[in-house]
Amino acid sequence: MSDCPIVSTPLGKVSGFALAKAKCPEAQQVYGYLGIPFAKPPVGNLRFKPPQSADAWKGTRNGKKKYPPGPMQSTRTVEIIAKYVANYRVADENPRYVDEDCLYLNVFTPKLSNKANLPVMIWFYDGGFSAGSSVGYHGQTICGLQNVVLVVPQYRLNAFGFISFGKNSSCPGNMGLLDLKMAMEWTRDNILAFGGDPNNVTLFGRGISVSSHVISPMSRGLFHRAISCSGVANCNLVTKENNDVSTGFLLTELGIVDKDPEVILAKLRSMSAKKLMEAQEKSADYQENPLQKLDDFVTVVDGKFLPKHPRDLITDGDFAPVPFIIGCNNTEFCGVLADRFPEGFVTGELSEKQAI
């Protein structure tokens, strides 16, 4: 494998590694740079707040062969998803390693020249808003055969990324989507050093996240094409007016009875990330609808990122005027659903109480 050059970004230098070539004669060498911070760690007082720009670092950051920890998510969900997601090991990685300090991205490129001007693709991993990470997603094939630069950012999930207390509160929700917006801003400002063209960026992957950015006025100009591989935002199951039900279940599990959002947020910020995640995992069992247990906290109409429900923004023609491909996956999510639904789901023998 070829030596991997050190890349200088506006925030500092980062080292990388050379991936094994894809098994095609025409495949190019691809270089990977893992765990680059695009925002400050969303911990302590920054928990439940919009992402803040990352600080610069001294020296050369090690981006070799170690994926960043995934966002906070329940052990139960990780184990279910892990059964059905292909994971090709290209670096030292642990798909079950999670941490609240998760706002990092990985870059893969076949050409390291600020004059290469290659198309850029930003991948939003699947797993709903309750599971997923950048582990296992790499550019060995897509970059090596299609001559593009791939960016794979992580974003906050579950209550950490989507708890909300109303449009007029200090926590209106959608922090996870704002994480992705900041990752797009990082791409705009840094991708030239990795051989990418900041004026030729395509979003693809998790359809709800992708289409939310197509619709949101806050993301305009940060991308130029979009591909939704699984679902869209104008679905009542994944975009709501508020997350009051899931928030209420979580607070009940934690024994929090306060009504003032600021008092509640202060108590939630004082807890360990592990305790909060365990409480959310237990509170999910309060949901009677098995589908809802998959995404206890989802996108909401927060008045800023989503000023209206997506269906209304679409009706108004208020969305990014970019080429947009919408699709779905064969046997969409069937394996995961079978694990989540109660006995009798496959045969259609659910009781009236269990039925959706």
Q: Where are the domains positioned within the chain? A: 7-242+299-340
Please give the pLDDT value at position 185.
Answer: 98
Ranges assigned E (strand) in 76-233: 104-109, 118-124, 149-153, 196-206, 225-230
pTM (2 d.p.): 0.89
- As assigned by CATH, the class of the 7-242+299-340 domain is alpha beta
Residue with tokens 């979009």: 226
Angle at 308 between CA 306 and CA 309, to 5 degrees: 90
Please give the pLDDT value at position 97.
Answer: 82
Length of the chain: 356
Q: What six digits make up the tokens of 6?
A: 């050190």
DSSP string, 41-65: ---GGGTTS---BPPP-SSEEE-SS
DSSP, collapsed to helix, strand or coil, labels residue 36 as: strand
Please give the pLDDT value at position 351.
Answer: 54
Please give the pLDDT value at position 294.
Answer: 52
The one-letter amino acid at 201: V
How far is 222 from 200, CA to CA, in rounded Å? 10
Please give the pLDDT value at position 346.
Answer: 57
DSSP annotation of 155: -
CB atoms within 10 A of CB 288: 10
Q: What six digits make up the tokens of 352?
A: 């009236």
Ranges assigned E (strand) in the chain: 7-9, 12-15, 17-18, 31-37, 60-62, 104-109, 118-124, 149-153, 196-206, 225-230, 239-240, 299-300, 324-326
Nearest to 67 by CA among 148, 158, 163, 132: 132
| Main-chain phi, psi angles of 36, to 5 degrees | -85, 125
Helix, strand, coil: what percent of the chain each, to 5?
A: 30, 20, 50
Please give the pLDDT value at position 88.
Answer: 47
Please give the pLDDT value at position 233.
Answer: 79
Which contacts qualify for 17-25: CB closer than 8 Å, 24 or more apart?
17/63, 17/64, 17/65, 17/91, 19/90, 19/108, 19/138, 19/139, 19/140, 19/144, 20/90, 20/140, 21/140, 21/144, 22/140, 22/141, 22/144, 22/145, 24/144, 24/145
How far is 291 from 345, CA to CA, in rounded Å? 12
Which residues of the chain fall short of a pLDDT of 50? Answer: 1, 88, 353-356
CB atoms within 10 A of CB 349: 10
